[in-house]
């Protein structure tokens, strides 16, 4: 990937409730949490003044207690991307503009999204 050198890190406040693929929430509770996460990431993106990007790579970093699989938090990663889309960080969250969100382990408790601007996406 050809990065431009510009990047932004959006870190959720401690105690924010996340979504995992292992959650057994009702559809209403899942919808509410998704909307809360989406709004929070939209606010974080606006606070960082992320300009409208034509291509980006997004990775999310998560740490939980004990053994864990970072990809279990992909529902939170999707809400993060949607919030950044709402904030105008890219035209839409399709493959034409965004690669990811790719899950990674983080060595500190919490969840963060790292957005790196790309010079362009491969065809």
Average pLDDT over residues 66-90: 91
| pTM metric for this prediction | 0.91
Task: Tell me which CATH code domain 3-118 carries.
Answer: 3.30.1330
Residue 10 phi, psi dihedral angles, 5° rounding: -110, 115
Return the pLDDT at 63.
80
CB atoms within 10 A of CB 17: 12
Tokens 């974080």 belong to 44
pLDDT of residue 30: 94
Q: Where are the domains of the chain?
A: 3-118
Measure the CA–CA gap between 64 and 67, rounded to whole angstroms: 8
pLDDT at 84 over 90: yes
What confidence tier does 112 reach under pLDDT thresholds 50, 70, 90? very high
What is the model's pLDDT at position 9? 97
């Amino acid at each position: 990937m050809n990065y431009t050198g510009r990047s932004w890190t959006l870190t959720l406040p401690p105690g924010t409730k996340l979504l995992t693929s292992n959650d057994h929430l009702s559809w209403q509770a899942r919808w509410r949490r998704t909307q809360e996460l989406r709004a929070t990431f939209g606010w974080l993106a606006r606070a960082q003044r992320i300009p409208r990007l034509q291509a980006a790579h997004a990775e999310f970093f998560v740490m939980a207690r004990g053994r864990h699989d970072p990809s279990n938090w992909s529902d939170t990663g999707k809400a993060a991307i949607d919030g950044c889309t709402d904030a105008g960080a890219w035209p839409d969250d399709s493959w034409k503009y965004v690669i990811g969100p790719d899950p990674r382990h983080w060595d500190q408790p919490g969840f963060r999204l790292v957005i790196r601007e790309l010079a362009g996406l491969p065809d």
